Every structure is written in C-alpha cells, then in structure tokens.
Amino acid sequence: MVLVLSRSFLALHFHKSMANFSTNPKARLKGVVFDMDGTLTVPVIDFTAMYKSVLGEEEYNSMRAKNPSGIDILHHIETWTPQKQQKAYEIIADFEKQGLDRLQIMPGAAELCGFLDSRKIRRGLITRNVKSAVDMFHLRFGLEFSPALSREFRPYKPDPAPLLHIISTWGVQPDEVMMIGDSLKDDVACGKRAGAFTCLLDEKGRYDSPDYFNADLKPDFKVSSLVEVYSLLEANFELMQ
C-alpha cells in the first residue's frame, strides 16, 4: 500500500512539474543593449576626480552622502545657469578626452558580441558619453552596435527613453531584451523602467555592500565579468538562431 501511494505521489509530482515547465518556458531573447564605459570598455575615467572638479569638494561630499548609489552629475548640471553649465561640460569633456586616449576594450566583450551574432541576437548601445567616443569605440575595435545612442540623445539614462527607442526600432517587446551595464542607478534603472531584463556587471563586488540593497534597483542577474554572460544567457533564455 505504501509502495502504491509512493508511486502515485511520484506520478502526480512528475505531471505537476511537467505542467509547470510547459506553462513557464524560457523567455525568448532577441536583443542585448550594452552600456559602454565600464561595460564594453575598461574603466579609465576617474569619475570621483571629475565630479569633484565640477562640483567642488564640499558639494561633492554632501551629494555623495545623500546618494550612496552614485551621483547623477548630468541631471544635476541641468539645474544650473547656462554659463555654469558650459563650464561644467567643458570639464567633463576634458576628462572624457583623456579617457579616449586610453580606451581599451573589456575582456570578453568581442567574444560575447561574436556569440550574440552567431545566435542572430541584435546588439545595441546606450552611453552617457559623447558621440565621438562611440565613434572611436566602433572604429578602434571593429564592433558595430545599432542603434548606438550617446549623450546627445535626450533624455539619457536612467530615463527609459533611449532603451525604449532601441526596442521600438528593433520591433521587439521589452521582455525580449536585456540591458547590461555596470551602473545600478543608470543601467539597471533604465532597463527596469523600460520593462527589459537587466544584468549588472560588478567586477569588484562593489554592489555587494548593504548600501545598495535597494529592491527597486535589484538587477535580474549579476556577473563579475562579461565571460559569465554566455552561460547566463544559455541557462535562462531561449536564444534566437
């Protein structure tokens, strides 16, 4: 009697499992949108030094204390007078130019792009850097992302507008796209607001700190290198071929 019940239980459990599997298939992935600085390229800009140059030491420390997840310098500057804005943008442009001189591709980026191409998965790019930096990236490393939206596209991250623009251009649904970036406040926020999957690249475990345990900004996935994205995609998504 016990044996019969056990078999019945196992059979019922098996059918329930199969039913759950059939009703919860893997999500289909049709496109991946990348951040550029710190994601596709090795971080070379000293953002702390740049922010201090723009804001001044005292204002920087005050803003940093109020915003542990990071300072949104671009949106903050928009509240300033035109003359003060111009000076701030010149400082930022100078730091970005220095970064271009040391531009390096992130380990695993080219290989990941090749993998996505082999599965016919579209590749897009959204950065808060300027168009000239995007053009330099494309030219130097021979990788083309389309659409590739730079700071000139307004509003910029974390507003979902640039990601929604790419999704619309591709003619796909938000839940068929993943946003990959190294910023919780910019990339993950942008992706989640657009309704896309999100993947946080956290090379040094920066976001393991309790300061970042914000449920509203929790990414769907987290990796420490782009190399880990291969297995993540294959395990969790139906990939187009």
Concatenating the DSSP letter of every residue in 188-207 gives IHHHHHHT-EEEEE-TT-GG
At what angle are helices 82-101 and 47-55 packed, to 10 degrees? Answer: 160
Specify whether the CB–CB gap between 191 and 149 falls below 8 A.
Answer: no
SS3 state of residue 105: strand
Facing residues of 125 across strands?
34, 148
- Cβ neighbourhood burial of 12 (10 Å; 0-12, 13-18, 19+): exposed
- Within 13 Å of residue 127, how many CA atoms lie on the same side as its CB? 21
46 given a catalytic annotation: no
Residues found in the chain: 241
Which one from 35, 182, 186, 187 is the annotated catalytic residue?
35
37 given a catalytic annotation: yes
Which one from 37, 72, 186, 187 is the annotated catalytic residue?
37
Concatenating the DSSP letter of every residue in 50-86 gives HHHHHH-HHHHHHHHHH-TT---HHHHHTTS-HHHHH
Which helix (H) or strand (E) segment is 3 a member of? helix 2-23
Phi then psi for residue 28, to 5 deg, are -85, 130
Catalytic center residues: 35, 37
